Amino acid sequence: MTERPLPATPAPVSDPEEVKSCCATAYGSDAVALLLGDSYHPGGLTLTRRLADALALTAGSRVLDVACGPGTTARLLALEHDARVDGVDLGATTLEAARAATATVGLSDRVRFLHGDAERLPAPDAAYDALVCECALCTFPDKPAAAAEFARVLRPGGRVGITDVTVADGGLPDELAGIAGWVACVADALPADAYAELLRAAGLRVLRVAAHDGALVRMIDRIDARIRLLAMASPARMAEAGVDADAVAPYLSAARRAAAAGDIGYALLVAERPGRG
């Protein structure tokens, strides 16, 4: 791919409520659905299955999917683990799409979607046997509040499974700060150990921290391939969704370089609320 300079980025958003609503709006856009497909995180359903396997789910387990996006994970957990799943997201459009897709496959009696903020979950204490949060903790401005909410809504003995974007100790490289301004979401990603520390500080016992950096690289490659294909096969659809292949290309190159240098990665964490279930 020909290297181009990164396009100018909008001014970074600093108000926490604005960051959340900007991120929810971005992920509710046609462009994201077009580029990411059904699953909005590195590793796709393969990594989701690995995460689910670590949660000790049994038939009828109550699971909360925090920042559920299009609801693909929620439906998978219902279908493959016979779980009852609530998905929470801030994006109104995202939730509408999640509900529609769930109704289409006849799972609406087992999978519900609620509008809500991860930092103030719309759920009673100890309501869930397990909680998942994929590629979203990095976006929450008040991560300790979200981690405390995870611990609050889990029953004692319940598990939380997280996968998320990680950054090296020095933070995002300058080149990627531009992307962070563009998609406010990854600006606040942390090293994997710092996510683990957040969970510990919320009273959870960390059981596993594993790097899955290859999943991030594969996602970058997949988006790149999808853009090239769409640019050839359906440029009108790209234009309709507001995707400019030439503008996205330098960001993908920058992200690929950062991943190759180990500046960004992806991690899976599993933790447990201490106590007997």
* Closest distance of CB 109 from ligand SAM, Å: 22
For position 164 contacting ligand SAM by CB under 6 A, the verdict is no
Rounded Cα–Cα distance for residues 137 and 146 (Å): 8
Asked if 196 touches ligand SAM (CB under 6 A), the answer is no
121 alpha carbon, distance to own chain's centre = 16
- Give the C-alpha separation, 43 to 165, whole Å: 11
Task: Write down the least CB distance from residue 28 to ligand SAM, Å.
Answer: 6
Gap between the Cα atoms of 180 and 175, Å rounded:
10
Asked if 188 interacts with ligand SAM (CB under 6 A), we say: no
**Shortest distance, CB of residue 144 to ligand SAM, whole angstroms?**
13
Q: Give the end-to-end CA distance of the chain in Å, rounded to a whole number.
A: 53
Q: Of the candidates 90, 153, 268, 269, which one interacts with ligand SAM according to CB under 6 A? A: 90
Q: Nearest distance from residue 72's CB to ligand SAM, in Å?
A: 6
**251 belongs to the binding site for ligand SAM (CB under 6 A):** no
Smallest gap, in angstroms, from Cβ of residue 1 to ligand SAM? 24
Report CA 222 to chain centroid distance, whole Å.
Answer: 17
Q: Is 69 in the site for ligand SAM (CB under 6 A)?
A: yes
**Ranges within 197-236 binding ligand SAM (CB under 6 A):** none
Q: What CA–CA distance (Å, rounded) separates 260 from 168? A: 12
Work out the burial of residue 171: count CB atoms within 10 Å of its CB; fewer than 13 is exposed, 13-18 middle, 19 or more buried: middle
Contact between 140 and ligand SAM per CB under 6 A? yes
Q: Identify the DSSP state of 119.
A: T
Nearer to ligand SAM, 121 or 271 (CB): 121
Residue 162 has φ and ψ, to the nearest 5°, of -125, 140
Q: Using CB under 6 A, which of the segments 99-107, 112-120, 209-217, 223-231 binds ligand SAM?
A: 112-120
> Which is closer to ligand SAM, CB of 69 or CB of 178?
69
Continuous segment of H or E residues that includes residue 186: none
SS3 141: coil
Q: Is 118 in the site for ligand SAM (CB under 6 A)?
A: yes
Site for ligand SAM in 18-47 (CB under 6 A): 20, 23-24, 27, 39-41
The answer to whether the beta carbons of residues 195 and 166 sit under 8 Å apart is yes
- Residue numbers at the binding site for ligand SAM (CB under 6 A): 20, 23-24, 27, 39-41, 67-69, 72, 88-91, 94, 117-119, 134-136, 139-140
